């Protein structure tokens, strides 16, 4: 008699479980939008437009996910993004070089990440207080640079900004019979690369495992020989770097700088991270989930607008409602999971 082999599947980790829930909800919401609203939701370009409009948000949310995994927070990312945009616009308009402008964006992001990371990690100052001061400082610097909106007038950058990845076979036929090809901005490619790189760092490197360890239990991390201060410092460095990249991608999308650029981005990024399965208490999070969290957040906003509710407060109400729903869902799922383990 042949012995029957029993296949035992390993249970999903908390990261995988919460990410799976987010992906299922995103797919369900988008399918529902197609069935009820139809219109643009039937076209691939709708998804591409969501990516084009939110590439910078995806990058910032990835940075916040890293910090939140370590049980920290950084509410300065939106202001840093705004500062990067204004600085790079003014530099390019003064006849600057594109490559140097990219280095300028990365330098600003790294500077804020390094200073805030040092204060949080080595001086043990509360992350919220440190990043709140960073937010005010970045906003103030942006206003000093220019109170008035500034449009990029650099010819080379304008060509870079107008460059699109055209995919004809994913396009659609308009009412006049013309084929409208699907178009994707270069900023989306940068955002997707950031997601992939951060995913690899979190999953396959000792640094990434250190982030989860100190977020889950700092005492245990110390006993495992992890340099907690250095690891937390690196989390803020990466968050600052991603804020700099986000600012440049934001500028590539809008082509202008404004003192109110990226206002509220930090709150949207936190919301996207939480919806994607990142816990504020630390130790649990995944940038793949954050990506789908951003897409879920964007989808519900698109549904609200397509339903005729164009007033901005409806989007705020739905975002708040979704956030509460996901927090409750995470709490219920994880509490039931812990009871089963017992």
Estimate to the nearest angstrom the gap between the alpha carbon of 328 and the chain centroid: 21
Q: What is the pLDDT of residue 88?
A: 95
Among 304, 242, 251, residue whose Cα is nearest residue 269: 242
Give the DSSP per-residue string, 98-165: HHHHHHHHHHHHHHHHHHHHHHHHTS---HHHHHHHHHHHHHHHHHHH-SS-EE---HHHHHHHH-EE
Q: Quick check: 53 and 253 in contact, CB under 8 A?
A: yes
Write the pLDDT tens digit of every residue in 251-270.
999 988 887 777 788 999 99
Task: Identify the residue with better confidence: 121 or 173.
Answer: 121
Write the pLDDT tens digit of every residue in 18-44.
888 888 888 988 888 888 776 667 788
Give the DSSP per-residue string, 232-267: HHHHHHHHHHHHHHHHHHHHHHH-EE-TTTTTTHHH
Q: What is the pLDDT of residue 1?
A: 43
Estimate to the nearest angstrom the gap between the alpha carbon of 226 and the chain centroid: 27
Q: What is the pLDDT of residue 8?
A: 46
Residue 59 clears pLDDT 50, i.e. is over it: yes
Q: Which pLDDT band holds residue 294 (cuts at 50, 70, 90)?
A: very high
Q: What is the pLDDT of residue 25?
A: 87
Radius of gyration of the chain, Cα coordinates, nearest whole angstrom: 21
Q: What is the pLDDT of residue 182?
A: 81
Lowest mean pLDDT among 66-80, 199-213, 260-274, 313-327: 313-327
- Distance between CA atoms of 133 and 263, rounded to whole angstroms? 16
Among 87, 112, 128, residue whose Cα is nearest residue 261: 87
**pTM for the structure as a whole:** 0.91
Write the pLDDT tens digit of every residue in 192-215.
999 999 999 999 999 999 999 999
Q: Domains in the chain, please, with CATH?
A: 55-300+315-329 (1.10.3470)
Among 120, 122, 125, residue whose Cα is nearest residue 67: 120
Residue 148 clears pLDDT 80, i.e. is over it: yes
């Amino acid at each position: 008699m042949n012995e029957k082999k029993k296949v035992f599947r390993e249970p999903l980790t908390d990261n995988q479980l919460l990410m799976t829930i987010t992906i299922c909800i995103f797919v369900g919401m988008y399918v529902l939008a197609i069935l009820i609203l139809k219109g643009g939701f039937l076209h691939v370009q709708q998804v591409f437009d969501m990516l084009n409009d939110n590439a910078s948000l995806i990058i910032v949310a990835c940075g916040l996910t890293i910090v939140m995994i370590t049980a920290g927070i950084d509410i300065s990312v939106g202001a840093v993004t705004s500062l990067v945009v204004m600085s790079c616009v003014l530099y390019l308009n003064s006849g600057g070089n594109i490559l140097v402008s990219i280095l300028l964006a990365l330098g600003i992001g790294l500077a804020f990440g390094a200073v805030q990371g040092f204060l949080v990690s080595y001086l043990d100052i509360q992350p919220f207080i440190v990043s709140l001061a960073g937010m005010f400082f970045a906003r103030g610097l942006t206003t000093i640079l220019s109170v008035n909106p500034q449009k990029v007038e650099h010819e080379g950058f304008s060509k870079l900004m107008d460059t699109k990845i055209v995919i004809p076979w994913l396009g659609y036929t308009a009412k006049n019979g013309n084929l409208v090809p699907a178009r994707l901005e270069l900023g989306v490619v940068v955002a997707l690369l950031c997601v992939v790189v951060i995913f690899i760092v979190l999953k396959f490197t000792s640094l990434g495992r250190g982030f989860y360890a100190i977020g889950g239990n700092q005492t245990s991390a110390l006993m495992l020989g992890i340099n907690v201060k250095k690891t937390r410092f690196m989390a803020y460095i990466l968050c600052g770097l991603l804020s700099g990249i986000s600012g440049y991608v934001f500028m590539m999308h809008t082509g202008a700088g404004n003192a109110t650029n990226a206002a509220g981005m930090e709150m949207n990024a936190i919301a996207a991270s939480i919806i994607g399965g990142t816990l504020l208490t630390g130790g649990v999070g995944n940038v793949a989930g954050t990506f789908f969290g951003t897409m879920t957040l964007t989808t519900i906003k698109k549904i609200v607008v397509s339903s005729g509710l164009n007033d901005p407060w409806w989007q705020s109400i739905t975002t708040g409602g979704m956030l509460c729903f996901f927090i409750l869902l995470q709490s219920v799922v994880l509490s039931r999971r812990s009871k089963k383990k017992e």
